[in-house]
Structure 1
């Protein structure tokens, strides 16, 4: 009997089973300068209906809940969504609700949200242009989108390195898009970039692989790759002896046009 085929969406869901608590407690996911920017944006424009797209451990929802009327925590993983709703209730945020689904097919009416926020999620999406088209559809006229994600590089060897170790650590990884790719795809989807800000993110190696429960052979392969790369790659990512490295992230604030 042939082995059942597994779709990318199914792989994503499988990869995150049993990991919701790890992402809730992750310092990388719970902290960040971008939260202050998001809060200021919501307060400035008085956004009321917010979609936390690819909510993961729910940190965007928790940070924005005090300033909005309603937040929908949306994720492919039912386990993640359940965790976020439970945590929101414990924190006293009755305005946070959850919904399970994929980014490429948002089950919401057109122009439902004032603001869509996606943090550390887009590199898992199976079809980014389709997801951006869906975001554009559910966003109200002149609404905004905030995307915060790891970015790849336009330099081939630097890009190959980051994509390789990401995929070995987590087979549900699709792509860390370069900033140029992000700009091109968001413009094609009907968005205008209001703010673009790059950030450097130090990733403690042990926490990085433990959070995903990467198997020992995958961890060994990543360390082997890190030991064999050129000085160009090692210096750019500031690879340390224990495997800790620095990745690049981008804060994109987009307006629907």
Structure 2
């Protein structure tokens, strides 16, 4: 991760840290339950949660794992996650400021590594996945959830513009085929995968990134002016000129180290 992009991510998420703690879409749901289920099935004494954000995944694993390490490149986010987890009485969680492209851990240190709703911020996905593979034990599992990229180029370009106008640190979402290729190149084999829908409540989604009113108004004009087929593809719910919600597709993957 370049220093410029790292600074951008830290700026964006440093000021939004508390909002991510309380974000319903991050705090739980069937998607998080699926990752936790895969983790229980695999079993591990040590779990690493990279780009922990609000710490919800780390908290979930702390319920049945002796040792959890939560990392994030944004220290205010890491402090907020620590406070959130400590307030819930969870033990066995350690917090480390770290860039996913340069994880400060020995080879073969963890039985499970998780990364939930964060990879779309990584400027280079393959170096990050290679770092994950390096710190996994042989046969260890990488559990991933992220926004699913669209194969259709026009739809992909439309939603990328929406995402970047809301959060300039957003890089891009990857397709299933791209994920499979990156994982294979790093030495990981996809064991299980599924796609789940996740509804984004527009007001919460835009407020969480502390968008200014002019920026939010510009984004809404962009969405409302888009071809109807684009809005339909993401199930935008609109009343009059007011955007209520849209729906993301989330890709969930379990990939084991060869």
Normalising by structure 1, we get a TM-score of 0.95
Alignment correspondent of 1:48: 45
Alignment correspondent of 1:231: 228
Does residue 1:70 correspond to 2:67, yes or no?
Answer: yes
Pick closer, same or farther for the CA change 1:248–1:43 going to 2, 3 Å: closer
Counterpart mapping for 1:144-223 below 5 A: 144-223=141-220
Does the 8 Å CA contact 2:143/2:255 hold for their aligned counterparts?
Answer: yes
Match among 82, 95, 104 for residue 85 of structure 1: 82
Deviation at 1:200, TM superposition (A): 1.1
Alignment correspondent of 1:19: 16
Alignment correspondent of 1:249: 250
Normalising by structure 2, we get a TM-score of 0.94
Residue by residue, what CA displacement relative to the aligned partner does 1:133-153 show, whole Å, maximum 9, x if unpaired?
100100110000111011121
Deviates more, 1:213-222 or 1:52-61: 213-222
Q: Distance in 1 between matches of 2:220 and 2:82?
A: 37
Alignment correspondent of 1:59: 56
Deviates more, 1:103-112 or 1:31-40: 31-40
Q: Distance in 2 between matches of 1:31 and 1:177?
A: 22
Q: Report how many residues are paired.
A: 253
RMSD: 1.4
Residue by residue, what CA displacement relative to the aligned partner does 1:134-190 show, whole Å, maximum 9, x if unpaired?
001001100001110111211011000111010010011111112221111111111
Residue by residue, what CA displacement relative to the aligned partner does 1:34-56 show, whole Å, maximum 9, x if unpaired?
22223333333321100111000
